[in-house]
Structure 1
Amino acid sequence: MRRLWRAAGRIGAVALTVAGTGGWTAAADRAAEKQVAYRGVQVRVPAGWPVVDLAAAPRTCVRLDVSAVYLGTPGEDQDCPAHLAPGRADGLLIEPARTGRGAAAPETVTPGRRIPQRIVADAAAGHQLRARLGGTGLEVTAGWATDPGRVRRILETATAGPVTAEDPAADAPAGGAAPRTDVAGYAFDRCAAPSAAAMRAWAASSPYRAVGVYIGGPSQACTAPGADWVAARAAEDWAFMPIYVGHQAARGNLLVDADPAVAGRQGTDAADDAVRKAEGLGFRPGAVLYNDMENYDRDRYRDRVLAYLAGWTRQLHARGYRSGVYTGGSSGVPDLSARWGDAGYPEPDVLWSAAWNSHHDVTDAGMGLPAGAGQWTGGRRAHQYAGDVTETYGGVALDIDANYLDVTSPAGADGRLLPGRRLTAGRSTGSATATLTVQPDGELTVRPRGGGRTLWSAGTGGNPGAFAVQQDDGNLVVYRRDGGPGAGGALWSTGTWHSPGAYAVLQDDSELVVYGRDGGALWSTGIRD
């Protein structure tokens, strides 16, 4: 995400100006307008708005923080920086209606007719309306800075010629498992989602196994990927960090209210909007959704930020999601840390610290947390340790922000440890014949179901509170109680760290096996050898 701020970029040969906070009036617009036509649809927009043909300039960075009209489908390889400052401007993206696996169909509006108020109201929290233009085969994404009046008037006065394509029917939801947000390993985020080819190249040769994706928010300056992109990456075993760029304390033009009560309601509305956006991309309850709260002056903004984040966390919990907060290591991290253990304050489930330092880990020092305080341990930490860096893997260079995550959840009862799952002291998972258990003394064992002699053990006893994690690099590791992925303290491992996407299974023959993505066995206990 962002700690360095890029000035407004250029689209093609046309310079764009980041929107300010000045008021909009319909009279001012009508005084200087131009007509834009695209596939039979005509809209009248302010004369100063650049018009960008994305078919002619496919690498254009489609930005939501500038006033412009983008025509066509955003390219797969947009020339965007790793991060942009939070902000929103009035603008339009008109493109062929999206289809594809798991694509969520938006509402339909009719060009030239009044947009139902409920559609505008549903879009209010995110300052963005996405709708199909009935009878045209097109859809529009309309964003606004402070008042939806301008873009609403543009759509309500638009005209459409003869139908050029049927409106595509809504696709059925994607089958299979939902995109996962549990990650024990390296992750990167960047403004625009990389192309499918870039993601495949990085999956094959980089240490990264998770990617941050911007899903919405009133201060979002980067476009969101489609549900088909998310589904395709999930099928390739990528994990995700869904990022919602909500109201900010001090940056951009959409701020958290100074009244803590109002700020709390803003956080609640943000959570509801984030859930709508996330579910449209295939995420389901139980996923971690991250609110991006950029760095701020603690003395001036602390109370309103904490109220906003409390509203965010409470509402996500009410909707069945886990709350994540991305925030500055010198602002939000110490402010949230100071409320740790306060029964009256709902702490986020995951803390994502933006602390650009030499720690490629989630240690207290790396995160900026009090040493030894035990805050956000147990698979609840993420650390952005570098920003605005260029890395190359598989011949593909990307501008990214780099992270290490220990964001895990408990293993199920089916005998499988998938990437990002952990087995804590005193807990078991099992097959029809055996159980895999981390004993209270830290010993990882396989025993017959119903009791009996130990069939196999890892030799990690004498370490009360130890736990096992299936990491995203393929390694099954037992850590000390005060250790973990990115924090050190490994006691034992299968040594399968070179196999991203690998997973462990306790089979019905009582054998514990680590399998690679291709189904080949990488390691086993050897009980049946």
Structure 2
Amino acid sequence: MIIGLALALAALSLDMTAVPPGASAAPAGGDAPDASTAPTPGGDASDTSAAPTPGGDASGSLAAPTPGGDAQGTTAAPTGGDAQGTSAAPTPGADAPDASAAPTRGDAPAPEPGAAAPAGTSVFRGYAFDTCVAPSADTMRRWKSSKYRAIGVYYAGRGRACKNQPNLSRSWMRAVHANGWRVLPVYVGSQSPCVGAKNKKGVPIGRYPRTQGKNEGRDAVTRAKAYGIQAGSALYLDMEAYSYKKAACARTTLSFVQAWNRAVRASGYLPGFYSSADSGVRHMDMARRAGEKDLPSVMWFARWRIPPRLYGEPALGENAWRPARRIHQYAGNVKERHGGRTLVIDRNLMHAPVARFR
């Protein structure tokens, strides 16, 4: 996520005349096995500071959230499962994200994306951060002095920028969760064939997107289980910004995402989706309006340099992916210091499912 967002606008301007994608179509030649291999999760080690991901937007001057964003409140009660930690205090004058809104024009006939959340899904509402390398358990303890109470962890996938995760392990997950943190497991798999970021072009979705998506979805579940992440958890697919107006590329990407979602759901997990608001997120909402099935159940959209807010996002239908199904990444590649430890992070506001642990 810290990766490649600065290239999103350039990528989106490549093909403004192509027919906007709607329905999914099979690639030429049919589908056949095309399994991808994800890196093996790293072991436990001592504290390291996360380095910024190359290709991101170094916007360290971005300020903390301003009043007028979505309300934080207390965390939503889960329908079974693990208890939620307390979240940041409400932002004065904030919107109430659970308030119902009238459908926007063209939004009413579209179906609700995804399947219902599995029994026992845990939901967190508040501030979250993600960083390329998982910090040590000690750093996480120190960062309890911050407003954040959830962390995005790049736990698997062949497209990860930071494959070496010296702190990440099953025991790290347990320790961090026991310390009151909620975890957002992020899977960075194969990327769209028309991805904008140069450092993601080496891991493209291939000729058989459905088979590849199915295999990587199963891999996402297998890796999650290895870290002790239980069924009912949300797993988030990271798809960096791509030129969704290129029809053939959009069809391939959508087929991959749908297959990934089906595989994750079949194992009892909840598929989430991360991308740039004006790229992959807009593409998924177009697919929703077109009546496509097997779409993500949770939407994590990146739109920087604006106050944090979950609703009112122009790339999403007002009544889509709600309630408790949205995350807004509102700043990226910023340095913050808490408890004597500095990290380079992305900032997020969320009201969405998280990982469950025993």
- 1:355 match: 303
Does the C-alpha gap of structure 1 residues 79 and 200 become closer, same or farther in structure 2, counting only changes over 3 Å? closer
1:215-269 per-residue CA deviation (whole Å, 9 max, x = no partner) reads 1111122234111100000111211110111101122311012x4xx11211111
1: distance between equivalents of 2:54 and 2:351?
26
Does the C-alpha gap of structure 1 residues 73 and 344 become closer, same or farther in structure 2, counting only changes over 3 Å? closer
Whether contact under 8 Å (2:288, 2:295) holds in the other structure is yes
TM-score (norm 1): 0.44
Counterpart code for 2:230 = R
- What is the root-mean-square deviation of aligned Cα atoms in Å? 2.7
Q: C-alpha displacement at 1:4, in angstroms?
A: 4.4
- 1:376 match: 321
SS at match of 1:285: coil
Identity fraction in percent: 33
1:129-161 per-residue CA deviation (whole Å, 9 max, x = no partner) reads xxxxxxxxxxxxxxxxxxxxxxxxxxxxxxxxx
> 1:228 and 2:168 equivalent?
no
> 1:334 and 2:282 equivalent?
yes
Whether contact under 8 Å (1:85, 1:221) holds in the other structure is no
1: distance between equivalents of 2:43 and 2:263?
34
> 1:183 and 2:183 equivalent?
no
1: distance between equivalents of 2:124 and 2:268?
19
- 1:294 match: 240
SS at match of 2:2: coil
1: distance between equivalents of 2:54 and 2:221?
23
Q: C-alpha displacement at 1:377, in angstroms?
A: 1.0
Whether contact under 8 Å (1:354, 1:383) holds in the other structure is yes
Q: Please identify runs of 4+ aligned residues in structure 1 that moved more than 6 A.
A: none
5+ residue gaps, structure 2, are 7-38, 57-119
- 1:209 match: 149
- 1:16 match: none
1: distance between equivalents of 2:48 and 2:159?
20
- 1:405 match: 350
Q: C-alpha displacement at 1:83, in angstroms?
A: 2.9
Counterpart code for 2:147 = P
1: distance between equivalents of 2:353 and 2:241?
26
Whether contact under 8 Å (1:384, 1:404) holds in the other structure is yes
Whether contact under 8 Å (1:3, 1:387) holds in the other structure is no
> 1:82 and 2:35 equivalent?
no
Counterpart code for 1:199 = M
2: distance between equivalents of 1:306 and 1:213?
24
SS at match of 1:339: helix
2: distance between equivalents of 1:209 and 1:3?
23
Whether contact under 8 Å (1:82, 1:401) holds in the other structure is no
Whether contact under 8 Å (1:352, 1:382) holds in the other structure is yes
- 2:181 match: 238
Alignment of structure 1 residues 62-211 onto 2, 5 Å: 75-84=45-54, 182-203=123-144, 205-211=145-151
Counterpart code for 1:198 = T
1:175-197 per-residue CA deviation (whole Å, 9 max, x = no partner) reads xxxx9863211000101111122
SS at match of 1:182: strand
1: distance between equivalents of 2:295 and 2:345?
28
* Count of residue pairs brought into register by the alignment: 248
Structure scoring higher RCO (CA < 8 A, sep ≥ 6) equals: 2
Does the C-alpha gap of structure 1 residues 229 and 278 become closer, same or farther in structure 2, counting only changes over 3 Å? same
Q: C-alpha displacement at 1:398, in angstroms?
A: 1.0
Name the one with the larger helix percent: 2
From the CA coordinates, give the structure whose radius of gyration is larger. Answer: 1
2: distance between equivalents of 1:394 and 1:267?
41
Match of 2:231 among 264, 285, 288: 285
Does the C-alpha gap of structure 1 residues 182 and 84 become closer, same or farther in structure 2, counting only changes over 3 Å? farther
Name the one with the larger strand percent: 1
SS at match of 2:288: coil
1: distance between equivalents of 2:4 and 2:261?
27
Alignment of structure 1 residues 485-524 onto 2, 5 Å: none
Whether contact under 8 Å (1:180, 1:234) holds in the other structure is no
Does the C-alpha gap of structure 1 residues 357 and 279 become closer, same or farther in structure 2, counting only changes over 3 Å? same
